[in-house]
Amino acid sequence: MTGKPTSLVFLQQKAKASDTERELAQRLQLELVQPTALGEAPEFGYVLELTDAGLGLRGMEKETRGTLRVDFAAKSLQRRVQQSVKSQDIGKAVGLTRQSQLRVLDATAGLGTDAFLLASAGCEVTLLERSAIVYALLQDGVSRARETSSELRDVVSRITLAQQDFLRFQKQDADFDVVYLDPMFPAKRNRARAKKAMFFLQQLLDEPSDEALLLAHARSIANSRVVVKRARLAPLAGGQQPDIQFKGSSSRFDVYLIR
């Protein structure tokens, strides 16, 4: 968490921490604090906590109130699944109109929403996430999905998680048709933190890798195409013109074909 403006601790739910809480806090190298710490004008900006709803990241400051967790059963996500992923821009961008059982490397996984959509459409998706905190949230989300329903269990069976920096990933490690990139970009200061998830992640993650390097590395790994998700009006990754673009109201997908 070096260099971040706010601190993060692990909040145990009772006076005595559970074995799971202690193990998680130790693995994530977070200070374990008792519930009474919340009533003492805490200096920390975020708490990670394990409740009945799952592992969550909770903002403690007025501007960040709320809890972020990976929830593949969320109604908003399930609505998108029901709307046919193949007909959505993300499905068109990765090439689902031609082939459904694609092998996709989601190189910058974040909270795994796009990876879940692709897995629900039949893709085998490997998610790379370099942040230990975000990786823990992903693990928890996948674990809860397995226990929620047979449908969710079937989808997440096509998801593989790995805690790794994409730039250290080598082509010989696996074979992928598509490399999918959703690089973290700076939030516009004049926006009232419209997407809390994005703001939380920007607080947690280190500075994003150089996009030109990410794109070049992705091209060296993908067999068919590289897909870069961008804000609709964001500049091109590394200034490189894509072969195809799919534009939505708030985001777009730049497709770089491998020839």
- Say which amino acid occupies 145: A
Confidence (pLDDT) at 206: 62
Cα 190 to Cα 203: distance, rounded to the nearest angstrom:
17
Find residue 229's DSSP bridge partners. 253
Q: Is the pTM value of this prediction over 0.85?
A: yes
Q: Using an 8 Å Cβ cutoff, are 226 and 177 in contact? A: no
The DSSP result for 166-216, as a single string, is: GGG--GGG--EEEEEE----PPPTTS----HHHHHHHHHS-PPPPHHHHHH
> How buried is 19 (Cβ within 10 angstroms: 0-12 exposed, 13-18 middle, 19+ buried)?
exposed
Confidence (pLDDT) at 205: 64
Q: Using an 8 Å Cβ cutoff, are 5 and 45 in contact? A: yes
The DSSP result for 216-246, as a single string, is: HHHHHHEEEEEEEEEETTPPPGGGPPPSEEE
Domains and CATH numbers, the chain: 8-68 (no CATH), 75-257 (3.40.50.150)
Confidence (pLDDT) at 196: 62
pLDDT tens by residue, the chain, 259 residues: 333 435 889 999 999 999 999 999 999 999 999 988 877 656 788 899 999 999 999 888 776 678 889 999 999 999 999 988 999 999 999 999 877 789 999 999 989 999 999 999 999 999 999 999 999 999 999 999 999 999 999 999 999 999 999 999 988 778 999 999 998 655 444 344 446 666 666 666 666 668 899 999 999 999 999 999 998 999 999 899 999 999 998 899 999 999 8
